[in-house]
Amino acid sequence: MSVLLDVQGVGKAFPTPDGSSLRVLDAISFGVGEGEFVCVVGPSGCGKTTLLQIIGGLLPPTDGRVVVGGEAITGPQRQMVVVFQQYTKSLLPWRTVEGNVHFALENLPLDAAERVNRVRSNLDTVGLAGFERYHPYQLSGGMQQRVAIARALAREPQIMLMDEPFSSVDAMTRQGLQDLLLGLWREFGKTIVFVTHDIEEAVYLSSSIVLLRGRPSHAVERFANELPYPRDQLATREDPRFLRYRRHVHELIGTATGG
Amino acid sequence: MGRTTRLRLGGFAVLGLLLVLWEVASRAALVNQVYVPPVSRIGGELWRLLLNGELARHLGASAVRFGLGYGLAVAVGLGIGLVMGYFRAGYLLLEPLIELLRPLPPPAIIPIAILFLGIENPMKIFVIAFACFFPIVVNTIQGIAGVDRVLLDTARTFGLTTREIIWKIVLPSASPNIVAGMRIALAIALILTVISELVASNDGIGFMILDMERAFRIPEMYAGIFTLMVVGYLLNRLFVVFESRTLAWYFGQSRRAQE
């Protein structure tokens, strides 16, 4: 498996109001192979979102670099998309569901028919056929996040970066979205970097886990998740290996509750 | 018939009753009949002015000033508001100037405007545009300041250019504020149209009212004032239609948020 995305010694410091600087991330290195589903897990406030923004080219690192397909990135890349946590804010409220997906395609070199085609098929993929003319506010949170996922898929990216995308929906919707995402991942062979503070979510989804800890955060461990696919909300979560991973992650990042 | 409908009809009844009282008071000479002629006579004069085309001539002259002044203010106000709202340098460079001009009561610039532009249409259009400019610029800046970070990041990850971000994200997102500014400016435009015509003119509805008063044609004076009321009312209704069309998504979203 070739390394598609390489995070090399990434650190980030922000200036503080008193003139000094606050270091949030320190020397974080890990590689992501093509087709991997990597979950980056760390406690709340550990800088996971910052790390994802750096990987997505939205924020320059203070030190280190992010290499995609052999080249260090300097800004957002065509082959990557980001799915944000706050779906209510990342969708365009004045556009319909299909308008939102279309938005992602408007600056790609595609003809009109191909755009319409991709809008249709990707909405279908996430189970939103029939909702094309709705506006985001007319949909539930889970459905809005599906629109965001359809929009990301429509660009046919190699890499999907996901920033706690399911943290603001209820538990049942979350499980549905997790299974939807796993299905898409297996079907389309995307490479996914998924940031979360929810340890069980990380163990349930990932093929590989990166653990962040400390202040500033650094990567303490990376291990392959051997749980077999396809995964199942009941069987997988009862698997002794699931429980072992869960305990292991808890112990390493030092949280007992995971909330 | 629902309670709301009944009360609404009642509202018209209150208006009608007042007009009847006016009529009776004037005919019974309870008030000075010269200063307060009966409503029926005012109506008769209004009808005559309508038929002989005089009212149309004055209204037409006012409409040109109003339309050009207001249109100019919307165009320039949006442009400057965008420059100030989106570009930090634009804001810092223009803010002192705007904040110094803004508290000036707009009629106070009429003498300067006459000095440079004369007493014909250019002066009037300038004065109307000047007064309408501020609410539009201030609201545009405020709207742009409220554009969500996540929305801008989404646009950036899709590789949109600054121009595309402005057209597809910033302006639609700020549109509720921009439209609110345009609504305030609409009322101001009507005020300044009349004021500019009172100061120096030989046509326009403002001129007509003053001219009739000077000629002691009091019923015609009232006819002009009644016309202004109706024009103002219709402009407002028209604006409400425009608003509910352009901001349907926004009102839908607000209703949803209150549920």
pLDDT > 70 fraction of chain B, expressed in percent and rounded: 100
State pLDDT tens for residues B141-158: 999 999 999 999 999 999
Local mean pLDDT, 10-residue blocks, chain A (259 residues): 88 91 92 94 88 94 93 91 88 96 94 94 92 94 93 94 90 91 91 93 94 87 88 90 92 60
Q: What is the DSSP secondary structure assignment for residue B46, as one 8-state letter?
A: H
What is the pLDDT at residue A256? 42
Chain-chain contact of B249 with A94 (C-beta, under 8 angstroms): yes
Is residue B113 situated within a structural domain?
Answer: yes
Residue A64 CA: distances (Å) to CA of A10, A61, A104, B157:
4, 7, 30, 21
User: In the sheet where A3-15 sits, what is the strand order?
Assistant: A21-33, A3-15, A63-68, A71-72
pLDDT band at B256 (very low <50, low <70, confident <90, very high): confident
User: What value, to the nearest 5°, has the Cα angle with vertex B122 and ends B117 and B124?
Assistant: 100
B173 vs A contacts (CB less than 8 Å): 94
Rounded to the nearest 5 percent, the helix, strand and coil shares of chain B are 85, 0, 15
State pLDDT tens for residues A13-49: 999 999 899 999 999 999 999 999 999 998 888 889 9
Is residue B122 situated within a structural domain?
Answer: yes
State pLDDT tens for residues B97-113: 999 999 999 999 999 99
Compare CB distances from A94 to B159, B160, B172 and report the shortest one's residue: B172
Cβ–Cβ contact A100 with B under 8 A: no
Is residue B186 situated within a structural domain?
Answer: yes
Q: What is the CATH number of the domain that holds B182?
A: 1.10.3720.10
Average pLDDT taken over every residue of chain B: 94
Give the least confident one: A166-175, B121-130, B218-227.
Answer: A166-175
What is the pLDDT at residue B14? 96
Is residue B255 situated within a structural domain?
Answer: no
Is residue B105 situated within a structural domain?
Answer: yes
Average pLDDT over residues B68-97: 97
B250 vs A contacts (CB less than 8 Å): 93-94
A to B CB pairs, distance under 8 Å: 64
- Structural domain total, chain B: 1
Instruction: Calculate the CA B113 to chain-centre distance.
Output: 20
- Rounded to 10 degrees, the C-alpha dihedral B34/B36/B40/B45 comes to 60
Residues A199, A179: Cα–Cα separation, whole Å: 16
Average pLDDT over residues B25-42: 93
Interface confidence, given as ipTM, is 0.88
pLDDT band at B254 (very low <50, low <70, confident <90, very high): confident
Q: State the sign of the Cα–Cα–Cα–Cα dihedral A44, A197, A66, A146.
A: negative
At CB < 8 Å, which residues of chain B contact A? 148-151, 153-154, 156-161, 164, 168-169, 172-173, 175, 249-250, 252-253, 256-257
DSSP class per residue in chain A? --EEEEEEEEEEEEE-TTSSEEEEEEEEEEEEETT-EEEEE--TTSSHHHHHHHHTTSS--SEEEEEETTEE-SS--TTEEEE-S-HHHHS-TTS-HHHHHHHTTTTSS--HHHHHHHHHHHHHHTT-TT-TT--GGGS-HHHHHHHHHHHHHHT--SEEEEESTTTTS-HHHHHHHHHHHHHHHHHH--EEEEEES-HHHHHHH-SEEEEEETTTBEEEEEEE--PPSSP-TTHHHHSHHHHHHHHHHHHHHT-SS--
Compare CB distances from B158 to A94, A104, A135 and report the shortest one's residue: A104
Is residue B2 situated within a structural domain?
Answer: no
Compare CB distances from A89 to B150, B157, B175 and report the shortest one's residue: B150
What is the pLDDT at residue A1? 61
What is the pLDDT at residue A255? 56
Residue of A74, A81, A86, A92 to mutate, testing the B interface (most B Cβ within 10 Å of its Cβ): A92
CA atoms within 13 A of residue B67's CA, in its CB half-sphere: 7
CA distance A182 to chain B (A): 23
Average pLDDT over residues B208-233: 95
A57 vs B contacts (CB less than 8 Å): 157
Q: State the sign of the Cα–Cα–Cα–Cα dihedral A147, A163, A75, A186.
A: negative
Residues B7, B13: Cα–Cα separation, whole Å: 9
User: Which residue segment(s) compose the domain that B132 sits in?
Assistant: 57-206
Is residue B22 situated within a structural domain?
Answer: no
CB B119 within 8 A of CB B200: yes
Is residue B134 situated within a structural domain?
Answer: yes
What is the pLDDT at residue A169? 87
